[in-house]
Amino acid sequence: MEQRTSFSSAGQASALQTNKVLRNTYMLLAMTLTFSAVCAGIAMSIGLGQGAAMMMSLGALVMIFFLNKAAQSSMGIVFVFVFTGLLGASLGPMLNYYAGFPGGGNLILQAFGTTALVFFGLSGYVLTTKKDFSFMGGFLLVGLIVAVVASLANIFFAIPALSLAISAAIVFIMSGFILYDTSRIINGGETNYIRATVSMYLNIYNLFTSILHLLGVFGGDD
């Protein structure tokens, strides 16, 4: 009887911990996405250049090192906002580019809406079914590496069809990562909400930029 009680208490504690990580992750994610959007808007308004945007992206990559070191402390939250702010601001030139299209504002809103729909749909599915998608990790990592290599190669070849294929692939890969990362949280594979937030943010960020590119192509981008 005591053993059953012990198992029950352990299960309840585990569920409470999981719910706490999940709640904190989505709360911090909402705040960082809002902050990132504000930074993107400021970058658009001041006409941030491509060079500055690239430097900010590189700065965000450097911040990942500090994030990993400080993920267990309150400083980790500060680094998360710096990281997401830099990435948000780096979107300025790209958003201005698409905003220059006929109906560009609607194009950006469509990309945002589609990204939100995909994220909430996939996350909601995992939260409802409690399915474990950890088996997808290896496949997703390989797919991501291939997409990154193809993207680097296309800088030199500049093949429009390849660029379109890469964006489509990234949409599927990031959708898979949303399933994978959400599953890790609810199944106890990720217990740090700062790291979980960064993972989710990157999924959403890359999903949004890829969807925007695809919509831009079909909306008149050559």
Return the pLDDT at 7: 43
**Contact predicate 153/209, CB 8 Å:** no
Distances (CA, A) of 95 to 58, 100, 157, 167, 191: 18, 9, 24, 16, 34
| Predicted structure pTM score | 0.89
Return the pLDDT at 92: 94
Return the pLDDT at 10: 47
Return the pLDDT at 115: 96
Return the pLDDT at 160: 84
Distances (CA, A) of 22 to 16, 65, 136, 182, 190: 10, 23, 20, 9, 10
Phi/psi region, residue 192 (left: phi>0; alpha: psi -120 to 50; beta: rest), is: beta
Return the pLDDT at 13: 52
One digit per residue, the tens of pLDDT, for the chain of length 222 reads 555 544 454 455 566 777 888 999 999 999 999 999 999 999 999 999 999 999 999 999 999 988 888 888 889 999 999 999 999 999 999 999 999 888 888 999 999 999 999 999 999 999 999 888 989 989 999 999 999 999 888 888 778 888 899 999 999 999 999 999 999 999 878 889 999 999 999 999 999 999 999 998 886 544
